[in-house]
Amino acid sequence: MFYLDTSVLVAYYCPESISEMVEEFFLKIKQPAISQLTELELVSAISRKIREKNLTIEDGNKIIAQFQSHFEKKLFKIIQVQSEHYQMARNWISQFSTPLRILDALHLAVASLNNLTVLSADYHMAKSAQYFGVDIKYFPNP
C-alpha cells in the first residue's frame, strides 16, 4: 500500500512537470493513504500557487472541491497522526544526520509505522527516507 506525500498529491491535482507520470501511477494503485496533514498541506500548496499567480482563485477552488469530492468518496485511506509518529519524527530529526524537516519527518513516520511505501517528488525527503529505511518511490522533478 502507498502513502502520498503532498508533493505527489499536488502534482496529481495541479499541472506540474511530473503530473502525467504521477497520474499514470495513481491509476494502477488502489486507495492510497494520506493523513489529515497531507490534506492541510495540499490546501497550503494551492494557496501558495494562487499567491504566486500560478493558479487563479477559481482554479484553486475547483482543485480543492475535486480533492474534497475524492476525500468524501473515500478514494484515500486516512491515517491519523498519533503520538508515536511524533516521537519517531523527533528521534529522526534529533540525529542531525539529514535535512529532514518537521512535516516530512511526520509523513515518513506515519508511513514507516504503517508499513507503507511513500510516494514523493521531494528529493530531500526521498534521501532521508532511504537513510532511515523507509520504503519510498521517488518521482524526480526535472
- Which strands, in side-by-side order, build the sheet including 136-138? 77-78, 33-34, 2-4, 117-120, 136-138
pLDDT in tens, 26-67: 989 999 999 999 999 999 999 999 999 999 999 999 999 999
Q: What is the pLDDT of residue 65?
A: 97
Place 101 in a pLDDT band, splitting at 50, 70 and 90. very high
Would you report the helix, strand and coil content of the chain in percent, each value rounded to 5?
Answer: 55, 10, 35
Q: What Cα–Cα distance (Å) separates residue 53 from each residue in 45, 62, 88, 126?
A: 12, 16, 37, 28
The answer to whether residue 18 scores a pLDDT higher than 90 is: yes
pLDDT in tens, 64-95: 999 999 999 999 999 999 999 999 999 999 99
Percent of the chain surpassing pLDDT 90: 96
pTM for this predicted structure: 0.93
Residue 37, number of CB atoms within 10 A of its CB: 17
CB 35 within 8 A of CB 89: no
Average pLDDT of the chain is 96
11-26 in b/e form (b: 16+ CB < 10 A) is bbbbebebbebbeebb
Domains of the chain are 2-138 (3.40.50.1010)
